[in-house]
Amino acid sequence: MALWGKTDSAGDSTIYAAAQVNRIANTTNRTTLFNNVTTGAFQNNGVNMNIAVGQFGVSADEAANTTGEGKDVAHAGWNLRTQGTGPLTAITAIPGGRLYANSDTFTVAAGTGGTNATGNVVTNATGNLVSFSVTSWGANFQSATPTVTITTATGTGGGSYTAIAGGRAGRTQYETLVAMGSITGDASDDTQLPE
């Protein structure tokens, strides 16, 4: 049995990569690790709970593309991707809009395996968004600038929020496990590694 193959698929990914996250090197763990972006999926006695670890087949075209994470890859081939997370450190209201209600809510997206932050819109007497009230700060944000969405908005135009996460949010690292420029196929990793 070969330890890896040349096709961008779970069955051809390196079988020993699971040992990098303290798991037994077998086909089940190899398949679970393939293209994983879920925070804490490989938690082991409190270790790895605040990171997302996955194994990705990176073609030469994906490694050369600077619009995705290809710029973070040292070499095409089988790579172990580690994405950090962090806590939400700030939410800023950008006043404006009209006809918002204090019962309107917002969500800050944490990412796969994280917990979204939620809160309520705070308005002035004319329904302009002026600030916010947080009901939950969430946890394990993958992006340093997570997306904020007003989820039950009655208002329109102008008002919005921005959010910032700290810690290791927004930090992604690739470790080349098998360097090769001949991976073929394209798995469902275009969000991270577009051609």
Note the pLDDT of residue 44. 66
- 129: tokens are 């968004």
Nearest-Å Rg of the Cα atoms of the chain is 20
Q: pLDDT tens-digit profile of 136-187?
A: 999 999 999 999 998 876 777 778 899 999 999 999 999 999 999 889 888 8
Q: What is the pTM of this model?
A: 0.83
Q: pLDDT tens-digit profile of 96-107?
A: 888 888 889 999
Of 55, 52, 69, nearest in space to 140 by CA: 52
Q: pLDDT tens-digit profile of 7-21?
A: 999 999 999 999 988
C-alpha 86: how far from chain center: 11
Q: pLDDT tens-digit profile of 18-64?
A: 998 888 999 999 999 999 999 888 876 565 578 899 999 999 999 99
Of 135, 140, 142, 139, nearest in space to 121 by CA: 135
Distance (Å, whole) CA 30 – CA 11: 8
For CA atoms 180, 184, 187, 193, the dihedral sign is positive
Domain boundaries, the chain: 10-85+169-179, 88-165
For residue 72, the SS3 value is: helix
Of 188, 150, 164, nearest in space to 57 by CA: 188
Of 187, 179, 194, nearest in space to 36 by CA: 187
